[in-house]
Structure 1
Amino acid sequence: MTNLYFVRHAHSIYTPDELERPLSEKGYKDAERILALIQPDNIDVVVSSPYKRAVQTVEAVANHYNLEIEIYEDLKERTLTAKPAEDFTAAITKVWEDPYFAWEGGESNMEAQARGVKVIYHLLDKYAGENVAIGTHGNIMVLIMNHFDKQYDFSFWNGLDMPDIYKLTFDGDELVGVSRMWER
């Protein structure tokens, strides 16, 4: 069995620079708790989105196991629009209602899901039988989970915490179990 630990990034300080947005003080404290929650499972590999907040969220895990964080560009958060949406709730609702719809300069659910799932199949092949922690983002994480099980949808995404941790267990490339590991 291969276990993928999807770690949604902790709270960050808002800046318009998506790539370099850092964790907040609360985010750093929560990131330290992540290690305690997944440490009993002995992590073999740590990968992340290139976004600073995702990397910082899994840094303690990587440091504890003396691992380098492998960066995967395609684990970055989905691009919703080229410019900030005037009404984020309406914009995000629309793309979940129509998985092929994309706002100007943005990605449809299907496009974002395809790039994220491609990384997951690569990880399942490369690290078969290992425990892999993945620093990621809420929307791309749920789109990936939705590929394997349709119950992970817009309402599930709406209920996520920041951070949040989901352990997905695979037999080959078949999802056989999901458990939430984050405790408020």
Structure 2
Amino acid sequence: MTTIYVVRHCEAEGQPPEASLTEKGFNEAKDLANFFSNVRIDRILSSPFKRAIQSIQPLAEKLEIDVEINNGLAERTLSTINMPDWLEKIKETYEDMDLKYKGGESSKEAMDRIVNVVEKALISESQNIVIVTHGNIMSLLLRYYNRNFGFNEWSDLTNPDVYMLKLENNKVNYERLWQKNSNK
């Protein structure tokens, strides 16, 4: 049985790929390492974004595991143009999974991208895998396995956040492990 821990990065200074963690985010990364201290981890995959890598680095160093960068885990680009009403635009993409804004990915395209990474990980030889990604694309992954996971559930995600996915009887089930305002 394969278990995948999907992690949303810790608090960051911004949205660009090169945005670093905040001081609070670096402390949260240490909390993440402690959170996983009693879990056997075989493999770590991360978005190429700096904040994702920094979020999992303390755990990787503690376990002496290399972080494998996977572009399929990068955050979804909603659009390449500035949209002051971006929150409403994101909400619309949960209602219409094929809706696509200028220069961006539709929810369906982003979902397919991250599901591809996860499905390959589920059939790999590794038993316990940590995947570090971003809020919007993480929510689309969870929506793939549960159509009721939508905009409101995305809004409730925290930085960081952790969901456990298990493949059992050819079905993927998930459970939220991270509790708001808690590192346990």
Give the alignment's TM-score, normalised by structure 1: 0.92
Q: Which residue of 2 aligns with 1:9?
A: 9
Tell me which amino acid in the other structure corresponds to 2:91.
T
Cα separation, 2, equivalents of 1:63 and 1:110: 35
Query: Are the equivalent residues in 2 in contact too, given 1:8–1:137 (CA < 8 A)?
Result: yes
User: Where does 1:3-152 land on structure 2 (aligned, <5 Å)?
Assistant: 3-14=3-14, 18-128=16-126, 130-152=127-149
| Backbone CA RMSD of aligned residues | 1.5
After the TM superposition, which parts of structure 1 deviate over 6 Å for at least 4 consecutive aligned residues? none
Stretches of structure 1 that go unaligned for 5 or more consecutive residues are none
Counterpart secondary structure, 1:59: helix
Distance 1:181-1:173 versus aligned 2 partners, 3 A rule? farther
- Paired residues, number: 181
Q: Deviations over 1:132-177 (max 9, x none)?
A: 1111101111101111122322111011111111111112752134
Query: Are the equivalent residues in 2 in contact too, given 1:37–1:182 (CA < 8 A)?
Result: no
Q: Which residue of 1 aligns with 2:173?
A: 176
Query: Are the equivalent residues in 1 in contact too, given 2:8–2:132 (CA < 8 A)?
Result: yes
Query: Are the equivalent residues in 2 in contact too, given 1:96–1:154 (CA < 8 A)?
Result: yes
Distance 1:58-1:90 versus aligned 2 partners, 3 A rule? same
Identity value in percent: 33
Query: Are the equivalent residues in 1 in contact too, given 2:163–2:174 (CA < 8 A)?
Result: no
Tell me which amino acid in the other structure corresponds to 1:90.
E
Tell me which amino acid in the other structure corresponds to 1:167.
M
Shift of 1:66: 0.3
Cα separation, 2, equivalents of 1:64 and 1:30: 15
Q: Deviations over 1:49-91 (max 9, x none)?
A: 0000001101111111100000110110111001232212111
Cα separation, 2, equivalents of 1:110 and 1:167: 22
Cα separation, 2, equivalents of 1:79 and 1:108: 9
Shift of 1:183: 4.8
Say which of 143, 151, 154 aligns to 2:151.
154
